[in-house]
Amino acid sequence: MALSALQLAELALHGAAFLCGVICASALTVSQGEFGGRCILYGSVDKNGTALALSHFSNVSLCYFVSAISILIAVYCFSVLLYGIYSCCMEEGRWDRTWLTVNLAVSAVILFFLLVSACVLRVGMDTLCSSILKTGAVQSCQEAQHTAWSPQYNAARFYDNLYSAEAAAWVNFFFWCLLLVLLLVQSRREAPFQLLQRNDPEWSAETDALFGARPQRP
């Protein structure tokens, strides 16, 4: 049995979320590598002659936290994709309610941590860029990529990498909001029971057993 349109859309969103997680983690890791493995989020920058110098770094665990969240989400999305492919090959078109319930709970947790990660990246970048602009050495944070840094950091793309990591985190958050909506729709469709209506045969059988059959009109 082929997968339904909702299930195919869910797998497509998981694939897109997987790519976002990989992009966010890799971009943030590269930006750390440009500054000797240090976390520059929430960093402070001073002017050292004609060069810029970082006077304060954030704890490296902050960047590790954001990267770890992105990697774990990517691994989870990849696992869901494999399960979807397996279900399609084994002709298991419908996913049971246990799977939907677990997916709903996991999606809610992922949304929370994605929101935290995206906010950390946004505020961390704003703090760093504000400190860079206060030095008066450059007119924009992006322009600092083409300025000399002291000591000799390879900061040629630090802003682009941080911006890519933040954008990927927010796009990933949007994808998971859509995923949560799709899962809610699927769970409604897979409801365990429906209330009886007056026109249903079961309704007549139940009322006849309790109150007796109504006399037939001639």
Give the pLDDT of residue 98.
74
Q: For residue 93, is pLDDT > 60?
A: no
Give the pLDDT of residue 193.
38
Q: What residues does each domain of the chain span? A: 5-211
The pLDDT tens digits of the residues spanning 34-89 come to 888 889 899 888 888 778 888 888 889 999 999 999 999 999 999 988 887 777 77
Beta carbons of 191 and 22 less than 8 angstroms apart: no
Per-residue confidence band for 197, with pLDDT thresholds at 50, 70 and 90:
very low
CA distances from 32 to 21, 157, 165, 193 (A): 17, 11, 12, 53
Q: Which residues contact 73 (CB under 8 A, 6 or more apart)?
A: 17, 21, 110, 113, 114, 172
Residue 84 to residue 28: CA distance in whole angstroms: 30
The pLDDT tens digits of the residues spanning 137-186 come to 888 888 888 888 877 777 888 899 999 999 999 999 999 999 999 888 87
Average pLDDT value for the chain: 81
